Amino acid sequence: MSILSSLLIRAYDRIILERPRLILLCLLAIIVFLGYKAKDFKLDASARTLILETDQDLRYSQLIESRYGGHDYLLMAYTPEGDLFSDRTLNELIHLRAELRQLPSVSAIVSILDVPLLQSPPVPVRELATRIQTLESPAVDRKLAEIEFGNSPLYRDLLVSKDLKTTALQIKFHTDKIYQDLLNRRGQFLDKQMSGPLSANEVAQFKRINDKIQKYRDERRKTRHQDIATIRAVMDNYRGDAELFLGGISMITDDLISFIKKDLKIFGLGVLFFLILTLGIIFRNKRWIILPILCCASSAVAMMGLLGMFGWRVTVISSNFISLQLIVTMAITIHLIVRYRFLLINHPATEQRQLILDTVRQMMTPCLFAALTTIAGFGSLLFCDILPVKTFGWMMIAGISVSLLLTFLIFPAGLMLLEKKAIPAKKKSRYSLTSFLAGFTEALGLGKIDLGGMSLGGRNAIGFAGLYPERVKHLILLDIGPEMPKRGSKDLNKRVLSPPLGFRSEEDAMEFYRQRMPRASDEILRQRVRYGLRLNWADKLVFKQDPDLVWSTGSAGKKEIPMVWELLAKITCPVLILRGAESDLLSPEIAERMLQVLPYGKYVEIQDAGHFIPEENPVAFEAEVRRFLET
């Protein structure tokens, strides 16, 4: 596996990094081609995209439609300001119907003006074949007609509302017999496909029929969009005297497509703006904004072109795939940026090509596994029985693959064309004890100083002496090293992470410190209470130390271990390492390693003392310190 990885990296270096301009030109040509194919990128919000072609209910519906015919229609709700059956309202309805009938796509209008009336006045059955009355018939009694519309189960809540204040107009469109014939023929092929495999000739015919159906759908969708716009324009002429609302499956489909297009633009641009703003805030460098945006834009255009080439249609469910792909692409790009910057900071002398190659080598596997786990998540959608959900799964699988491939081509090749630019050092925290001590000694003009530190203070002393070796004459480290033995670290974490919240009295505090430092005198313990505790608002004695101090003994402190060893090796002055014989925070083994690193190191073990050497055995501590400083 390692040999294969080595070969891949070597090939990547010779092909991609050695010829970045050629790679970018080839990618540009491919993306321009796919961008052209993106013109075939289509949205589809029809009801058929929401169900499988083999769905039994769909097949039954198609069977009924083939036997008895079907009509595409819209419904218009009309609520006049005055009486629905007044002369003025009926005249408005007559004019509205006349305008709608003039539309080329409209085959018929069904309204209260057109339906038969049987009880206004009552008509004998034998006369129905020759004399059917409507609301426009001269012999119709309008009062009786109003009663009939209100009581008839055929009209109430279908053509008129219960309160007789709103009526509906059914706008029927011409039936496309060619389209219906194509649907029936495709249905026959689907039935045959369910019972057995199709022959090569039948597969070719089936494909041709599907292509024709798709073409007819696109044409019908454009025509219906224009019809709906024209009908709404007609409605606007009558809104002064009535409230009008349009509904129907065709209108819902048309509006959904308009909404999806708008959402794709607004949400996609919103995500893009957010990404640019975030990159600017995090990295504050143009190259780390332009390169990720190029990767995101290229991935989105390439994916739209592929969808257009293969005829995959975006539905209501999959309409947000572009935003998701932008986020996935940006995540991969940020991983590469962060790794490259990390390598540049730690290896500033390394050549640009090697830095990029190391970035790709280190991030290829984690990014690949991250992409695969995301693909696996979207792959679970393929087991769904809902067609647009399955399509969405395939789209995201393809989109993530495209994003991974293009990012690992565009980002390294683009970065190869840019000069290596040193990353400015971060501003040091004004609360850093090391920098504070350096500024303090410099401000007072102390020159070389004798420096000592115990426990966490000892780690800071190592940092100061390693960063500013010319300012330290002698260094004394009390029971501390760059790291702690596992047992001592575990015991310290228990003590530090679970301290008492406070004490009710000085005696309770004294008892606490006595358990920590059993050999310390009462006077020293009282000093601990006096200077280490304070009274809070509840009149309880609590610790003065920063609560965040506990994290320095955990994972945060462990991250600093290599750095502390490096700083220790930079110390040039004599160093005295004191260890309490009964302490578990500094082991003899670690002390021995420290002596191997230090050019002038001395190790002394203080008997009858634990971690708190000055408090538990002050006499021996003072003697060793004086002896060290005098020599």
Residue (of 324, 326, 261) closest to 297 by Cα position: 326
What is the pLDDT confidence band of residue 26, given thresholds at 50, 70 and 90? very high
Identify the CA nearest to 355 among candidates 343, 342, 367.
Answer: 343
State the Cα–Cα distance between residues 74 and 58, nearest whole angstrom: 21
Per residue in 28-70, pLDDT tens? 999 999 988 888 777 665 555 555 555 666 667 767 766 666 6
Burial class, 353, CB count within 10 angstroms (exposed 0-12 / middle 13-18 / buried 19+): middle
d(CA 149, CA 116) in angstroms, rounded, equals: 10
2-46+261-416 maps to CATH 1.10.760.10 = no
Residues of the chain with pLDDT > 70: what percent?
86
- Give strand pairing partners of 247: 75
pLDDT digits (tens, 9 = 90+) for 301-329: 999 888 888 877 777 677 777 778 888 89
List b or e across 12-30, with b for residues whose CB sees 16 or more CB atoms inside 10 angstroms. Answer: bbeebbeebeebbeebeee
- In angstroms, the CA 189 to CA 124 distance is 51
Least confident span in 47-61, 334-348, 390-404, 445-459: 47-61
Is the pLDDT reported for residue 10 higher than 90? no
- Pull the structure tokens for residue 566: 């490096």
H or E segment to which residue 593 belongs = helix 588-597
- How many residues appear in the chain? 631
Tell me the pLDDT tens digit for each residue of 240-260.
889 999 998 888 878 877 777
In this predicted model, what pLDDT tens digit does every residue of 256-272 receive, in sequence order? 777 777 776 777 677 77
| Res. 429: pLDDT tops 50 | no
Most confident range (mean pLDDT) of 74-78, 142-146, 456-460 is 74-78
Domains 2-46+261-416 and 433-630 alike in fold:
no
Q: Left (φ > 0), alpha (ψ -120 to 50) or beta: where does 539 sit?
A: left
Is the Cβ–Cβ distance between 402 and 320 less than 8 Å? no
Q: Which CATH number fits domain 433-630: 3.40.50.1820, 1.10.150.120, 3.40.50.620, 3.40.50.300?
A: 3.40.50.1820
483, 590 in Cβ contact below 8 A?
Answer: yes
Tokens 């039936």 found at: 175
The predicted structure's pLDDT at residue 91:
92
Strands 472-478 and 575-580: parallel
Averaged pLDDT, 119-145 = 80
Domain boundaries, given as residue ranges, for the chain: 2-46+261-416, 68-250, 433-630
Give, as one character, the DSSP assignment of residue 583: -
pLDDT tens, 186-198? 777 777 777 777 7
Residue 300 has pLDDT above 60, yes or no: yes
Task: Give the per-residue pLDDT at 47.
Answer: 55
* Residue 552 near residue 474, CB atoms below 8 Å: no
Pairing state between β 472-478 and 449-454: parallel
Structure tokens at 105: 């796509």
Most confident of 191-205, 423-437, 500-514, 574-588: 574-588
The count of other CB atoms within 10 Å of the CB of residue 623 is 13
Task: Provide the pLDDT for residue 254.
Answer: 81
Sheet hosting strand 106-110, strand order edge to edge: 106-110, 167-173, 73-80, 242-247
CB 356 within 8 A of CB 340: yes
Mean pLDDT value across the chain: 82
- Summarised one tens digit per residue, pLDDT across range 612-621 is 888 888 899 8
Per the omega criterion (within 30 degrees of 0), is the bond before 588 cis? no
Asked if 135 and 167 touch (Cβ cutoff 8 Å), the reply is no
List pLDDT tens digits, range 280-297: 888 888 889 899 999 988
Residue 576: strand, helix, or coil: strand
Does position 553 have pLDDT exceeding 90, yes or no?
no
C-alpha span between 340 and 420 (Å, rounded): 11
Over residues 589-608, the pLDDT tens digits come to 988 999 998 988 899 998 98
Does the structure show a pLDDT above 80 at 156?
Answer: yes
Q: Which DSSP helix (H) or strand (E) runs through 474? A: strand 472-478
Nearest to 97 by CA among 83, 82, 115, 70: 115
Q: What are the pLDDT digits (tens) for 514-552?
A: 887 777 788 888 888 888 888 887 778 887 776 666 555
The pLDDT value recorded for residue 403 is: 92
